[in-house]
Amino acid sequence: MSASRRTELRYPGGRRALYGAAAFLASYLAFLPVAALRYEDLLASATVTVDGVSYEVAENLAPESVSTVAGAGHLLFNAQFVPLSVPMDLGVGTAAATVNPLLQAGGIHLLPLLVPAVAFAVSGALATRGVSTSRPLRRARAAAMQFTGVAPLVLIGIPLVSVAASGGNAGPDLLWGIFGAGAFYPAGAGAFGGFLAHKRAGF
């Protein structure tokens, strides 16, 4: 008599998807106070270059008009190397330009880059604590699957944090956001967390 097989549908990534989603939401919450304190200053000093001419981002995206809720989302994506796409009025037309205020500011403003990296590494390690394997790369691959819980939040989050700007909407770059913040970043950081945790006996 053959063993019964489970035929119900299962979400890709299983419980690892939940850990990934939790890490994304925790990172967003961590950026709320950062946005409340620093968003306006970061955007006010940000510049973009179009056809060799430098423009101030604040001329087209007024930072004081961006809510803390949206600003935190912008900075969270920036911390995962996803730039903001801002429509710039060039006088003779409008062109979309990208800018990452955190990277452009540099210095102490690079510290927030650690927030999602650490969150996804920790969630990748925790999500795979029950994985029985003697091979660290296998656990790393399992931890990388947490991206399946992050990708839907990214798809929902990008339009939610997009704001009105001169000539259109400004927000996280869609293509970079989907593939970067939605897949590669949580998968890579999660895999690193799973691999590192495997090297520590008992974790």
Query: Could you report the per-residue pLDDT of 164-198, keeping only the tens digit for each?
Result: 887 789 999 999 999 999 999 999 999 999 998 88
Length of the chain: 203
Strand partners, 68: none
Cβ atoms of residues 84 and 71 within 8 Å? no
Query: Which residues, 6+ apart, have CB-to-CB distance to 68 below 8 Å?
Result: 32, 35, 36, 39
Q: Is the dihedral of CA 39, 43, 46, 50 positive or negative?
A: positive
* pLDDT value, residue 178: 95
In one-letter notation, the amino acid at residue 70 is A
Cβ atoms of residues 20 and 186 within 8 Å? yes
pLDDT in tens, 134-173: 688 888 999 999 999 999 999 999 999 999 887 789 999 9
Helices of type H across 47-184: 68-78, 101-105, 114-127, 136-144, 147-161, 174-176
